[in-house]
Structure 1
Amino acid sequence: MAGLHWADYLIFAFFLLVSLAIGVYHAFSGNKQRTTQEFIMADRNLKVLPTVLSLLVSYQSAIMIVGCSAEIYSYGTQQWFGVLIGYTFAILLAERLFVPWIFPLQLTSVYEYLQLRFSSKLVRVLGAVLGITSGMLYIGSTIYAPSLALDAATGFPAKLSIPIMAAVATTYTALGGMRAVIWTDVFQLAIMLCGIIAVLIKGCLEVGGISGAFYYAQQEGRIISFSSSFDPRERMTIWGFVFGWGTSWAFIYGFQQASTQRYSATRSLRDARLCLLLNIPCIIIWVSLVFLNGVIVLAYFVKKRCDPLFNGDINSSNEILPYFVRIIFASTRGFSGLFFAILYSGALR
């Protein structure tokens, strides 16, 4: 497998081993996951800060890291501003409506609510089947994205990397339960932030800072604010983000199993609501970082007067960020391994 230095493999292996170690640690700490409440709900004693970070990373996958750069490269900044508005509206809606509704019920599974509401186990089972199917379809794409990037860079086959990722995530979850999931999420978020900030700093040096990045992006006509038009034929409008993005993500943050299980495992309703509210500044910072990287990637190729997609260096705009990282960090041993750890951090959940 050509394309990576041994240091890259070492860093990537370290990332996987730490994720597994967190699961092992929580399997032998506390009550050692002896009870269902401890394993699934962490004894409903989760602290706010790690739960906030876990909620944040639960829905920020490799798709977003790679896709935001592709969006900027192809269409511009319009989605950036719209996403911030959509996420803010969604989280406020979930915090106001869903959390005060769900938390007092002290559910283990959100699908229990269906049985309570309709007095039917069949409805609960059907809801659970649909929820599991939706989760499998989502996680399939989040695992596939970094596997393709690894395949393109090293020749390591996706058919092998996908089961490795699935095995690692399943193992640390099965060993350490909810606490292992929460703290692995925190560790993986730290990895993602380190990598994204490193790309940002190195990219700024290449294009003359953030002001230089926006200058080149403006030259290319990619600095676009959101539209307030009611024309449904427009690709993106503020109303689409508020009513489309906002309502769908309100459901995800407020009523999807991955979210309800986390905020329901906190100590009080106040903590549960705070977990969602604190996600707003975290989302704003995270989304801005990944989209800003997209602006810098665009600026770099505008400055070089090079279009990798047009030249055939890449097959899709989704490959633009990995291609950019491979160029600017070509002489930096170990960073490619860190970058793949970033992408895998968005999948191991």
Structure 2
Amino acid sequence: MESSNGYFQVADFVIFGGILLSSAAIGIYFAYKDRRDETIENYYFGRRNVSPIFYLGITVYLPALALSAVTILELKWTIAITSIVCTFYTTIGGLKAVVWTDLLQSLIMLGGVLSLFIRATLLYGGFGDIWDAAERGNRLNFFKLDIDPRIRSSTWTHLIGGAVGGCYSACCNQVTVQRYLSCDSVRSSRIAVWLQWIPSTILLMLCVANGLVLYAYYEGCDPVLSGLVAKSDQTIPRLALELFRDMPGMAGMFVSAAFSGTLSSVSSGVNSLSALALEDFVLRFFPTIPKRKKMLCSKLLSKFH
């Protein structure tokens, strides 16, 4: 049953805390495993023996805002928890810790959004009623073929905007390029590029489907205007709390999925910014710095970012 104050139950906190501890544990593992291989090559590129599969950029603020909607934690504390955990395992574990935590967090993200979709579909007796609600509210604008560029959301804005955004993410993003360099060959990099589209596409489709679920569930009763949540960004975690009120732990699983996206994004960004700062600023003025000092500088830069 849902707690009287509408917040997480003990099982939800256990699952959420377990995700954070697992990410930290991966960082500790690689810090210990590679304790005799403290080189820049290993710290930033994993000895070019890492094949990254999945990456999703999400800011720290939105998941922190989501968690604050379903727990007694204030927004500032949820942001602090995320930042501390990310900085910890990224700093001590390097790229290997980042990539392996990315894998763990990707599975959690997929599991979280999939569980919400399945639960909602079962409660509605199928996806048909959800689709009908979206049609009644004119929410299926993806199929709008109007070429007017002033229209925010249409078939063309999604296809063209998605293609341009995808090209940037796959070809120009520092985080992505660094992962290409961590592969042992150009062929491995190309395989990684193609493989990442599979989970990314599945996750995107599930997120869209959950958006339709959200609209159908609150059709005729805006959760923001009714005071159920303070901001629209908090509606999905509130929906998860209501759908899983008889299943302790599942709401925690879903919110953990949102936080996994943040952990993945922040840790990747911290590692990449650290590499850029070292290469473009430190080594530019101190090119002969000893190996051990390079590693120390890299870890300090990771903590700083």
TM-score range, shorter chain: 0.7 to 0.9
The change in CA–CA distance for 1:286 and 1:46 in structure 2 (over 3 A counts) is same
The change in CA–CA distance for 1:222 and 1:236 in structure 2 (over 3 A counts) is closer
Q: CA deviation at 1:36?
A: 0.8
Report what 2:46 is aligned to. Answer: 42
**Are 1:312 and 2:198 an aligned pair?**
no
Tell me which of 28, 43, 53 is aligned to 2:32: 28
Contact 1:200 1:293 (C-alpha < 8 Å) held by counterparts: yes
Structure with more relative contact order (C-alpha pairs < 8 Å, separation 6 or more)? 1
Distance 2:75 2:137 in 1: 35
Alignment deviations for residues 223-264 of structure 1 (CA, whole Å, 9 cap, x no partner): 233444332221124443444442243123212210000111
SS in 1 for 2:211: helix
Distance 1:178 1:32 in 2: 16
**Are 1:152 and 2:153 an aligned pair?**
no
Counterpart mapping for 1:91-170 below 5 A:
142-170=59-87
Distance 2:155 2:164 in 1: 13
SS in 2 for 1:235: coil
SS in 1 for 2:182: coil
Alignment deviations for residues 155-209 of structure 1 (CA, whole Å, 9 cap, x no partner): 2112122122111111111111111000000111111122111111110111111
Report what 1:58 is aligned to. Answer: 56
**Are 1:277 and 2:275 an aligned pair?**
no
Contact 1:33 1:177 (C-alpha < 8 Å) held by counterparts: no
Report what 2:128 is aligned to. Answer: 211
Report what 2:296 is aligned to. Answer: none
The change in CA–CA distance for 1:219 and 1:208 in structure 2 (over 3 A counts) is farther
The change in CA–CA distance for 1:217 and 1:242 in structure 2 (over 3 A counts) is closer
Contact 1:19 1:184 (C-alpha < 8 Å) held by counterparts: yes
Distance 2:8 2:158 in 1: 40
The change in CA–CA distance for 1:321 and 1:166 in structure 2 (over 3 A counts) is same
Alignment deviations for residues 296-336 of structure 1 (CA, whole Å, 9 cap, x no partner): 2222233xx53324433234432221221121112222223
The change in CA–CA distance for 1:32 and 1:229 in structure 2 (over 3 A counts) is farther
**Are 1:343 and 2:262 an aligned pair?**
no
Q: CA deviation at 1:152?
A: 2.4
Say how many residue pairs are matched.
Answer: 260
One-letter code aligned to 2:192: C
| Worse overlay, 163-172 or 328-337 | 328-337
Q: CA deviation at 1:31?
A: 6.2
Report what 1:134 is aligned to. Answer: none
Report what 2:245 is aligned to. Answer: 330
The change in CA–CA distance for 1:159 and 1:185 in structure 2 (over 3 A counts) is same
Q: CA deviation at 1:346?
A: 1.2
Q: CA deviation at 1:344?
A: 1.1
The percent identity for this pair of structures is 32
**Unaligned regions of 5+ residues in structure 1, if any?**
62-141
The change in CA–CA distance for 1:268 and 1:27 in structure 2 (over 3 A counts) is same
Alignment deviations for residues 120-175 of structure 1 (CA, whole Å, 9 cap, x no partner): xxxxxxxxxxxxxxxxxxxxxx1111212222222211212212211111111111
Report what 1:171 is aligned to. Answer: 88
Runs of 4+ in 1 over 6 A off after TM superposition: none
Report what 1:7 is aligned to. Answer: 11
Distance 2:126 2:67 in 1: 29
Q: CA deviation at 1:294?
A: 1.4
Tell me which of 151, 156, 167 is aligned to 1:250: 167
Tell me which of 143, 147, 153 is aligned to 1:236: 153
Contact 1:214 1:295 (C-alpha < 8 Å) held by counterparts: yes
Alignment deviations for residues 87-145 of structure 1 (CA, whole Å, 9 cap, x no partner): xxxxxxxxxxxxxxxxxxxxxxxxxxxxxxxxxxxxxxxxxxxxxxxxxxxxxxx1111
Tell me which of 228, 233, 236 is aligned to 1:321: 236
Distance 2:67 2:92 in 1: 27
Report what 2:22 is aligned to. Answer: 18
Alignment deviations for residues 66-103 of structure 1 (CA, whole Å, 9 cap, x no partner): xxxxxxxxxxxxxxxxxxxxxxxxxxxxxxxxxxxxxx
Tell me which of 222, 244, 250 is aligned to 2:139: 222
Report what 2:289 is aligned to. Answer: none
